[in-house]
Amino acid sequence: MTQPVYKIGTRGSPLALAQAYETRDRLMAAHGLTEHNFEIVVIKTTGDRIQDRPLGEIGGKGLFTKEIEDALLDGSIDMAVHSMKDMPVKQPAGLLLNCYLPREDVRDAFVSLKYKSIADLPIGAKLGSSSLRRRAQILNRRPDINVVEFRGNVQTRLRKLSEGVADATFLAMAGLIRLDNTHVAQSAIDTDELLPAVAQGAIGIERRATDENMKYMLATIADTETFNRLVAERAFLKALDGSCQTPIAGLATLNNDHLTLQGQILRIDGSDQVSGQISGPISDGPALGEKLAKELLEKSSGNFF
């Protein structure tokens, strides 16, 4: 009897591939399958092709998802593995995203060949980042820092640091852990100092809404705690109509059946920010996200967008 082969769509970066293999391995363990039952399909996205411009100039979060989702819709792949912080809050008609793997460390990592922490950066130091959130957050805390555009994988960024393009940069701790590169980080930055991106550290697996077999398979590896946290965070982002053009941070934490959501929005130049926190039952996660977004919009008078 012919064994089924499930096609997993992913970007081709080392981190994206690590996430795809983690998904495959979890499905193998849950269903008694082998590597022969899976094929990793690498799909190049617009965000991967265009490396010489800031992400905000060439589109929104869909830069890293559209081509993969097109392949899912036309049946070229059976599931798509994504870094959830790259995902738009709305999925194309016919696709469903409700399976998340256990969340990794949500913190940002401070990476430098010269300095140990943000506090050690001298006046006028160059910090490289392509993230509007990180750029705005560091400028809000350290307006004396020069922020420069900085893209690429871990090795590319380390090379740029050695070449003097920047004195320091930020990476997600989750990515460094998944790539076994934690030694790259000088330190992990506490979330009270830099609130992470919405859904940072989480892997999501997208499927066709009508694929009942895939629904069953993915249900066995879905992590409930991560789901509950991301439902609140992404409701917060959706209510803010967040995109790559707006610096937004958000993080939900759980304590038994209680959820606490922190949120922050900033001006792109870091000149101002508003933040807040809200708590309630886990079951109220989406409503809490919407309520916190409304509160921050009122605090900002809508002038940050």
Superfamily (CATH) of domain 108-189: Periplasmic binding protein-like II (3.40.190.10)
Mean pLDDT for the stretch of residues 284-297: 96
For residues 257 and 276, the answer to whether their CB atoms sit within 8 Å is no
For residues 257 and 226, the answer to whether their CB atoms sit within 8 Å is no
* All structural domains of the chain with their residue ranges: 1-102+202-222, 108-189, 224-305
Sorted by sequence, the CB contacts under 8 Å of residue 132 that are 6+ apart come out as 56, 244, 245, 246, 247, 268
DSSP-assigned beta bridge partners for residue 207: 96
Mean pLDDT for the stretch of residues 216-221: 98
For residues 138 and 129, the answer to whether their CB atoms sit within 8 Å is yes
* Token pair in block for residue 78: 């059976």
Measured distance CA(135)–CA(146) in Å, rounded: 10
The model's confidence at residue 150, banded by pLDDT at 50, 70 and 90, is confident
What is the per-residue pLDDT for 49?
A: 58
Assess whether pLDDT exceeds 90 at residue 47. no
Q: Which residues are catalytic?
A: 86
Provide the whole-model pTM. Answer: 0.92
* Token pair in block for residue 206: 């997208």
Assess whether pLDDT exceeds 90 at residue 54. no
For residues 129 and 268, the answer to whether their CB atoms sit within 8 Å is no
| Alpha-carbon separation of residue 303 from 214, 260, 297 (angstroms) | 43, 26, 8
Of 128, 285, 101, give the one whose Cα is nearest residue 201.
101
Q: Which of helix, strand or coil describes residue 277?
A: strand
- The percentage of the chain sitting over the pLDDT mark of 70, rounded to a whole number, equals 92
Mean pLDDT for the stretch of residues 200-208: 98
> Could you give the count of Cα atoms lying within 13 Å of 34 in the half-sphere of its Cβ?
2
Question: Tell me, what amino acid is at 176?
Answer: L
What is the per-residue pLDDT for 51?
A: 55
Assess whether pLDDT exceeds 70 at residue 48. no
What is the per-residue pLDDT for 53?
A: 54
Neighbours of 88 (CB within 10 A): 21
Assess whether pLDDT exceeds 70 at residue 62. no
The model's confidence at residue 60, banded by pLDDT at 50, 70 and 90, is low
Assess whether pLDDT exceeds 60 at residue 1. no
Measured distance CA(138)–CA(145) in Å, rounded: 8
| Lowest mean pLDDT across 47-56, 202-211, 223-232, 242-251 | 47-56
Chain segment 22-37, per-residue pLDDT in tens: 999 999 999 999 999 9
Work out the mean pLDDT of the chain and round it to a whole number: 92
Architecture of domain 1-102+202-222: 3-Layer(aba) Sandwich (3.40)
Q: Which CATH class is domain 224-305?
A: alpha beta
Measured distance CA(294)–CA(273) in Å, rounded: 15
DSSP E strand stretches across the chain: 6-10, 38-42, 79-83, 95-100, 108-111, 126-128, 146-148, 168-172, 187-189, 203-208, 248-255, 258-266, 273-281
> Could you give the count of Cα atoms lying within 13 Å of 99 in the half-sphere of its Cβ?
23
Residues listed for the chain: 305
- The percentage of the chain sitting over the pLDDT mark of 90, rounded to a whole number, equals 82
Measured distance CA(115)–CA(95) in Å, rounded: 44
What is the per-residue pLDDT for 154?
A: 80
Asked if the domains at 1-102+202-222 and 224-305 fall in one CATH topology, the answer is no
The model's confidence at residue 64, banded by pLDDT at 50, 70 and 90, is confident
Sorted by sequence, the CB contacts under 8 Å of residue 99 that are 6+ apart come out as 204, 205, 207, 218, 219, 221, 222
